[in-house]
């Protein structure tokens, strides 16, 4: 959970992440992240944890919090689930391991879900949207691939889809996080990724 805002109404990005339970999830990466969050004193912000756990921090005092080989471990996990395969790609001076899709059906299904969520299944209220789909839209935008999901659409649908994504991006995340039953951590992550 995120620490309470208190009397001074501190923003989502400046409040610290506090561990409610250190119960294991069964996912190696998540459990490792929980372990780091538990051992941290004083607590850190969501933005800081994103930097630490992604391996993108350059702070030598915080290197112990980095998850080692995150991208490789995520790719390996997706290979084990049959979503990706592993291949050696020969570049001019070196070989590199790549992870192309093993089955394009999974990708097509995911793209269709994203398209539907902002077109035919649009609910016009982010609090009523499926949280995973909402997160996927924000992360696709942050990764600069959201437009790829809408490229196959006709011009009118493309415009509507991009307009609705823009509406989501323009939301006041502080206000959304303060609504009843809102997941503050989710909105803090969205804020961190859209800064």
Residue pLDDT tens, the chain, 195 long: 888 876 556 788 888 888 888 899 988 888 988 888 888 888 888 888 888 887 776 777 777 777 778 888 888 888 898 888 888 888 777 888 888 888 888 889 999 999 999 999 999 999 999 999 999 999 999 999 999 999 999 999 999 999 999 999 999 999 999 899 999 999 999 998 887
As to burial, measured by CB atoms within 10 angstroms (0-12 exposed, 13-18 middle, 19+ buried), residue 69 is exposed
> What are the two backbone dihedrals, phi and then psi, of residue 94, each rounded to the nearest 5 degrees?
-155, 160
Element containing residue 32 per DSSP (H, E)? helix 28-39
Element containing residue 89 per DSSP (H, E)? strand 87-90
Q: Given CA atoms 146, 48, 129, 23 in this order, what sign does their dihedral have?
A: positive
- Report pTM: 0.82
What are residue 2's DSSP bridge partners?
Answer: 17
Which pLDDT does position 28 carry in this prediction? 87
The answer to whether residues 147 and 162 touch, using CB atoms and an 8 Å cutoff, is: yes
State the Cα–Cα distance between residues 124 and 29, nearest whole angstrom.
Answer: 34
Distance of alpha carbon 144 from the chain centroid: 13
């Amino acid at each position: 959970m995120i620490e309470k805002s208190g009397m001074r109404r501190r923003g989502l990005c400046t409040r610290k992440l506090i561990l409610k339970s250190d119960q294991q999830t069964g996912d190696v990466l998540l459990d490792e992240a929980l372990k780091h969050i538990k051992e941290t004193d004083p607590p850190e912000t969501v933005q800081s944890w994103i930097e630490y756990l992604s391996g993108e921090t350059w702070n030598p005092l915080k290197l112990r919090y980095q998850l080692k080989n995150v991208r490789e471990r995520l790719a390996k996990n997706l290979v084990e689930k049959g979503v990706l395969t592993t291949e050696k790609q020969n570049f001019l001076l070196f070989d590199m391991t790549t992870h192309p899709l093993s089955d394009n059906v999974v990708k097509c299904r995911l793209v269709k879900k994203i398209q539907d969520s902002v077109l035919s299944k649009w609910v016009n209220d982010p609090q009523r949207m499926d949280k995973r789909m909402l997160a996927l839209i924000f992360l696709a935008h942050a990764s600069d691939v959201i437009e790829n999901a809408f490229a196959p659409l006709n011009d009118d649908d493309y415009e509507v889809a991009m307009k609705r994504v823009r509406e989501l991006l323009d939301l006041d995340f502080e206000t959304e996080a303060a609504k009843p039953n809102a997941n503050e951590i989710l909105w803090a992550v969205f804020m961190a990724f859209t800064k």
